[in-house]
Amino acid sequence: MASYFVYNNKISILQDQGEQQGNEIEGQKEEITQIDTSTKEGLASALKQSGEAEDFESFAKYLKIVFQNQWDKEVELGKVESEIYMNVTTKYFDAGNIDEALRISTIVYNEVPQGWRFRYLRIRCLEKFGRDAFNANDLIMAEDYAMKILQMMFRPEGADLLADIYIKKAEADIQKGDKAAALNNINYIWDYEISQDRRDKLTELKDSLSK
Cα gap 97→146, rounded to integer Å: 20
- Say if CB 69 and CB 116 are below 8 A apart: no
Q: CA torsion, points 88, 89, 93, 99, in degrees to nearest 10? A: 40
The CA distance from 149 to 130, in Å, is 10
Give the model confidence (pLDDT) of 150-196 as tens digits. Answer: 999 999 999 999 999 999 999 999 999 999 999 999 999 999 999 99
pLDDT in tens, 87-115: 999 999 999 999 999 999 999 999 999 99
Prediction pTM value: 0.82
Residue 26, pLDDT score: 40
Cα–Cα distance, 169 to 96 (Å, whole number): 29
Helices and strands, counts by H and E, the chain = 9, 3
Q: What is the pLDDT of residues 23-52, one digit of tens each?
A: 443 433 333 246 788 899 999 999 999 999
